[in-house]
Structure 1
Amino acid sequence: MKEILELLESDARLTAGQIATMLGRDEEEVARIIKESEEKKLIQGYFTLVDWDKFGSEKVTAMIEVKISPQRDVGFDAVAERIYRFPEVRSVRLMSGAYDLMVMIEGGTMKEVAHFVSFKLASMEYVLSTATHFVLKTYKHHGVITDDAEEDRRQVIVP
């Protein structure tokens, strides 16, 4: 099962037939494992990685460090849930270290991101402080090198 999940994680477009061929397994068995993995939430979704800059439609991405006061009996979970329900939010992770949550959001402009932080996030009960970091350039995302247009600079060695 792990081999199937690893292949799908690297390329979600692979069919059960292709995976079966790659692993020397039966296609029906692979399809069953994929279906069961989806039902058990081992596979939680499929996505397409789009380079919006090349498309001409920029998105502003920000990572926000959030320091919160945990709630009695639920800890950080209730606050994290309130945050991840906002449509701008792409991910929320509980962190170790100087802050508690890392929130990644996308907006159309820096002003939209600033509005989200000021009016939706920082004003929430239990949020003690925030620190916003804007993504200036992405080199690798979800295991994919995003800017590989650079030519091969290796020198050919001729004996």
Structure 2
Amino acid sequence: MSQTDDTADDERTTGPAESVHRDYILGVRIVERTAGTDGTVYRFEAPHHEGIEFDDADTATLYADVYFDVNGFQEAGTGERGVPPEIIQAGRDTLVAYFLTQPLVDVEWVASYYGEKPEKVQRYVNRVRKRAKKIREGAAEQGMT
């Protein structure tokens, strides 16, 4: 009687491993997905949002903070280089934070674009993160889950 190696078959048929990296209120979350040699990606998910993936958790959480800062937005229909109107209307700090969630954009690029020092760009980001945290805390205190 021969034995088969079920372990090898299981490894070939198993898809990417997913887990919730961060769970927010109102059905918003960041899902961590590890797919073998492809590495790990972090997918932002929210109701009425098509979802978007990031290479690192920090960028994904910043995107979530921008999302809460403007009370949600949808990127569908803005084109490859467009910015959702909610982001534009929210002010410079929110726009700076949003820019930093885009591919190939970093603090130095944003600082150069605005003619500011990188430290000021980081202060903008910190303001958005702080506001988003207060918004989530306030919503949770009012029973929103």
TM-score normalised by length of structure 2: 0.25
Return the structure number with greater strand share: 1
Return the structure number with greater helix share: 2
For CA contacts below 8 A with separation 6 or more, give which structure has more relative contact order: 1
Larger Rg: 1
